[in-house]
Structures are given as C-alpha cells and as structure tokens.
Amino acid sequence: MKSNTFDTIVVGAGMSGGWAAKEFSEQGFKTLLLERGPNVEHIKDYPTTNMQPWEFKNRGRLTAQDVKENPIASRCYAFKEDAKHFFVKDQEHPYVQKKPFDWIRGYQVGGKSIMWARQVQRWSKYDFEGPARDGFAVDWPIRYDDLAPWYTYVEKFVGVSGNKDGLDILPDGDFLKPWESNVVEDYFSAEMKKHYKDRHVIYGRCAHLTESKPQFIEQGRGLCMSRTICQRGCPLGGYFNANSTLIPWALKTGNLTLKPNSVVHSILYDESQQKAIGVRVIDAITKESQDYLAKVVFVTAATLNTNLILLNSKSDRFPNGLGNDNGLMGKFIAFHNYRATINAQYEGFPDRTTEGAKPTSHYIPRFRNVNKQETGFLRGYAAGFGARPIRETDQDGFGPSLKKQLLQTKESGVWNVNSHMMGETIPKESNQVTLDKEKLDEWGIPLLNIDVDYDENDEKMIQDFFEQLTEMFTKAGFVNIQTNDNKRRPGNDIHEMGGVRMGKDPKTSLLNGWNQLHECQNVFVTDGACMTSTSTQNPSLTFMAITARAANYAIEQMKKGVL
C-alpha cells in the first residue's frame, strides 16, 4: 500500500477541492486529488474556446434531441452547443427526484468552476449572525471576523474586479479595478440613493482579471478581454477557474497526485484507531476498486455528492453514515430562489448607447430583515440589475438586401432594464437527501434521492420582491413594468447547500468551527455541504475562503501531530 499512501486526500477537483489541494501541496504535504470525471487541462481541453459563431453546426443552439435527452441539464443557462460537453448528461448519471429538482453537475477536473457565473460577494456579519437572531437554523460556529482574512487571501489569488462600496451589509474586498458602468446603471444607482437609505445598486463583483499583477503573471494568466463566452473555458485565464490556477499551482510543487476518472465510493473508517484512514475508489472506466490511505481526508465533491459519499461511508461504528450519530446528515438542504424577475423600459438618455460588453452587471445587496424582522417572511433577497439599449433591425426581404439591412442596426433610444431575485431559502429538516435502498449506479453506489421543495416563506419573498422592485423601478421613471414568476425548479440556481452543516453542538450539527466532523475529526467538509444557512450572496467565494481556512488549520494540526 506504500504507493497508495498520502498525507492527505482531497475528494473532488473543483473549486473547493482545488483550494485544499493547493494549500496542502504548497506546504509540503503529499496530496492525492481525486476526481470522478475526466481530466480537463487548461487551454488544451477547451475545444470550443476560439470557435466563431458560424463554426458551430447549430449556431450555438441546442437540438431537439439534446433537449429530449437532457430535460434537466438543458434548463441550465450555460448548457448550449458551445459548453454542453462540460455538463453531466441526464441519462449518464441518474438520480431519484422525490420532488422536482434540477441537479446541475460538471464531472471533470475543474468541476463547475469552468462554467460558473463568476459572481463573488463576501458574506457580512449579518449573514453569520442571522440564524442566532431569528432562530431558523442552528447558530454558526464562526463569524465574519473569522473568515475575513481568508476572504482577502482568496481574493488576492483569484483576482476580483470590484468597487469599494463601504457597505456593512456587503463588506469590501481586495479588488481589481472595475469595468465601466453604463449610463442607465449609474442613473438607477443614483436614483436609489435619492429615495432610500438602505438600498444600494452597486457594481457586480466578479472573478475576472482587469489588472496584471506579479501573482497572476506567475499563474500564467492574462487579462480578461470581456469575450463573455466564459463557459467554454478561457484560453487567456482571464476569469478564475480551478484548471488555470489552483490545480497547476499545486502540481508544480511536485507534491500533488491528480487522479481523474476516480469515483469515490466511501471513506474508510478504522474501528481500532477511531478515525478515517482513507477512501475507497472505483475506477470510472474499468470499475475496479482501489483503496487509498491518508492521515486527513477533505470531502469537497460538491454539496449533494458530498452528502452521498458520507452517507455511503458506513461501518459498525457509523451504520448511518460517517459521523452521523445524530441522524441529521443529508437534512436541512437549502438553496437560492431565482424564480422572480422583473423587466421594464427606460426612455431617458436616447442619445447614449453602449459599445462592447463586460462580464458582469449590477447588484442590489439584501435590504429586507437586516437589522430586525420587518416583514412576514424570514431572511431576505439580493437582486441583479442590468440595462441595455434596445436596437432595431429591419428583417424584411431576402438575399443581398436582407444582408445589408441586418448590418444596419438602429438605436431605438429606449433602454431595457431588468432584475432577478436571489432569495435565501430556509434550511428545513424536510428538505433532505437520502440513499436509495434499491437502485444503484453503474459503479455499485446507491442513487441519491432528492426531496427538496419551496415553501410558504419562498412564496412570500417572491411577492415582496415584485412589490419592492416595482416601487423602485417606478421611482426611477421606468415604464412598461412587468413581473414574472419563471417557475424555476429548486436546484436550477446551482447553489444547493447544507446537509453536513457546521455548528457548535454535536447534537444539532455535523461539523465544528474548523469544518471537522464532530465524531471523526480527521475528515473535513468544506464545500457547500458545510453551510449552516445560505444567505443571499453567490456562495463560491465563501466556499473557497472556508476551504483555505480549514486546510491551513489541518496543516497546523498535522505539524503538531494532532492529526
């Protein structure tokens, strides 16, 4: 077993796993990084990244057959002809839906960090204090001050474009310069300052390089050219993904062993040592089983797969899943509610327009129930905001005359404005995942049963968003205001969290303040599964900061001989 023995094993080579691998490898620990999907090397394995629109057989669109075969994946905004190869196909990896749930997955080295939306906001003190204040979940064992230096640590490596906004509800970070806002975005921001003290329309912070710095040069990354086709993988490394930064950084230390096509079956627990000793892996292609050993295991397989692996890690000591003495593993799953949208027009600035693009829009931080409970629903929502000129094209005729007309797009002088809600759902015991008792996948692992749904709190939040954003749009002078409930299914937000939540009490949580399983402290969980609540911010930055913090704690404990 000597060749199969490492200091640490990291399960899942996505954003969180990439951070764990980087920290351990960089500090001299022999690390095994396992990924159930194939390898994706930066630039080499981005097959569509430099293709022109006319080079796609279907001009970027999905075929009827694509949609028929992938009714779940095809509902994702980025599942199009240019990036569908990075998504799990519905028929290849089934799961059981107790209630409708869109499980969007990316099984490859880099995971969903290749296709993500790249929006990065810090949590604030209000987010970590929320559960203790209104009692909808257990108290977080950490606070903003515990994570603040790790947010900075991650931002400096990732590269985040943003403005210093000075908001306590959304703390500032270590930012690169922003892209220029357009005139209507600036107008709406100024109007909200006139009418409200607590509602802010700010630049959407994003993981893109707008400035060159020595560390980015050392990573081999170039500036973002705002191509806005990031889901294909960027040959410049202009946006952050694990493939272009974390994994190459870890590999160059010589301490990382990367094993793709490695489906983790379970974590191995030794009864005599009373700790985990490694993981059992099924080769994705040959189906052969292999055990790998390590002192410490980081489980970062993405929220629902992390729950699955831990629930499937059974032993005499843990018959219901590793560390699951209280029976709460897989429960209290939460997500973000993206169902509510609003659109309107603005007839101001008819002589102004935009040129080019930028890979972000504007952002409205949460303003409901921040300091006190003031509505009929718990918690709150953030929102995106965008504005673009409406352009008109004469599409009559055919042949040369039509071609000429299509090249003569005219500015209408009217702007389209829109916003979408990002609502916090409340972790509930009834929102849970379990292992199916009969159905197995092709590697002999139980299928995951997903039993997750909206509730009355979500419906109330949607109505409040419609009312408040309609009021805000009206005050700004926008017209033809239309609200819409798009009926998106849970999971389509791709922000599922929970199931192995952090907490102070082993009776009500699975992990302590350092992301260790209460009952098996050499196993750490640092992806979305660890989240006690979801807040309203895009979660990836917080996953990365939590992982970097936990990894460095584990490193300290290993050096002391505690782990």
Contact predicate 172/144, CB 8 Å: no
Q: What are phi and psi of 170, to 5 degrees?
A: -150, 85
Backbone Cα Rg of the chain: 24
Residues 438 and 398 in one domain: no
Concatenated DSSP letters of 520-548: EEEEEE-SGGG-S---SS-SHHHHHHHHH
Residue 78 included in any domain:
yes
Q: What are phi and psi of 64, to 5 degrees?
A: -60, -35
Residues 219 and 360 in one domain: no
Q: Is 464 helix (H, G, I), strand (E, B) or coil?
A: helix
* pLDDT score recorded for residue 133: 86
Low-confidence ranges of the chain (pLDDT < 50): none
Residues 218 and 348 in one domain: no
Residues 298 and 437 in one domain: yes
**How far apart are the C-alpha atoms of 363 and 467, rounded to whole Å?**
18
**b/e per residue, 46-66, with b = 16+ CB within 10 A?**
bebbeeeeeeeeeebebeeeb
* pLDDT score recorded for residue 1: 65
Residues 536 and 469 in one domain: no
- Count CA within 13 A, CB hemisphere, residue 117: 18
Helical (H) or strand (E) element with 20: helix 15-26
Range of the domain at 80: 1-161+205-335+428-453+497-563
Residue 117 included in any domain:
yes
Q: Which residues pair with 451 in a beta bridge?
A: 432
- As for how many domains the chain has, the answer is 2
Contact predicate 10/32, CB 8 Å: yes
Residues 321 and 404 in one domain: no
Q: Which residues pair with 417 in a beta bridge?
A: 344, 387
CATH number, position 213 = 3.50.50.60
Distance of CA 560 to the CA centre of its chain: 33
Angle, CA of 68, 115 and 257, to the nearest 5°: 115
Residue 132 included in any domain:
yes
Residue 391 included in any domain:
yes
| Selection from 121, 214, 127 nearest residue 175 by Cα | 121
Distance of CA 513 to the CA centre of its chain: 21
Residue 548 included in any domain:
yes
Residues 105 and 232 in one domain: yes
Catalogue the long-range contacts made by 506-515 (C-beta closer than 8 Å, 24 or more residues apart).
506/325, 506/326, 507/326, 508/138, 508/326, 508/328, 509/138, 509/141, 509/328, 510/323, 510/324, 510/326, 510/328, 510/329, 512/141, 513/141, 513/142, 513/146, 514/549, 514/550, 514/553, 514/554, 515/546, 515/550
* pLDDT score recorded for residue 136: 85
Contact predicate 543/123, CB 8 Å: no
Angle, CA of 104, 41 and 357, to the nearest 5°: 65
Residues 298 and 194 in one domain: no
Residue 166 included in any domain:
no
Residues 199 and 215 in one domain: no
Residues 532 and 446 in one domain: yes
Residues 477 and 529 in one domain: no
Residues 410 and 261 in one domain: no
Residue 167 included in any domain:
no
Residue 128 included in any domain:
yes
Q: Of the candidates 472, 489, 506, which is a domain's last residue?
A: 489
The model carries a pTM of 0.97
